[in-house]
Amino acid sequence: MKKIIKDEDMCEVHVTHPENIQQALCHQLDDEKSQKLAEIFKILGVPSRIKLLSLLINEEMCVCDIAEALNMEQSAISHQLRVLRDAHLVKFRKEGKEAWYTLDDDHVVKLMNQGMEHIMHL
């Protein structure tokens, strides 16, 4: 008897272990959470931004000083600070012409330390 080929049999992806996939779909992070989670990590995924944040761990700094310390254009620093502000990673206060930046909270430090642990662990 000739084997009848149905539409679902034509699917290119061969489902090897349906039960595993089922379990996976139950536990995976939803779109919104994985999106937001990736967002912070992406922001932390740039050396110059990591350096910038590491500066602010120790002291409040103004834009000009940060630029000098990182040997980068003031414009570039301002760009990065904008990104870090939007992500609630840093905050600032204006004092005359100057803007003084600090870390928004200690979550950032914890994240960086956790990352360092992975680095050290090889």
Sites of contact with its own copies (CB under 8 A): 13-17, 20-21, 23-25, 27-29, 31, 33-47, 49-51, 54-55, 57-59, 61-62, 64-70, 74, 88, 98, 105, 107-108, 110-112, 114-119, 121-122
38 vs 116 by CB, closer to DNA: 38
Owner of token pair 């939803």: 30
What gap in Å lies between CA 88 and CA 72, rounded to an integer? 22
CA distance 109 to 29: 24
With CB under 5 to 8 Å by kind, the binding choice for 94 among its own copies, DNA, none is: DNA
Compute the radius of gyration of the chain from its Cα atoms: 23
DSSP category for residue 29: P
Applying CB under 7 A, the residues found at the interface with DNA are: 14, 16, 42-43, 46, 48-49, 62-64, 72-83, 92, 94, 96-100
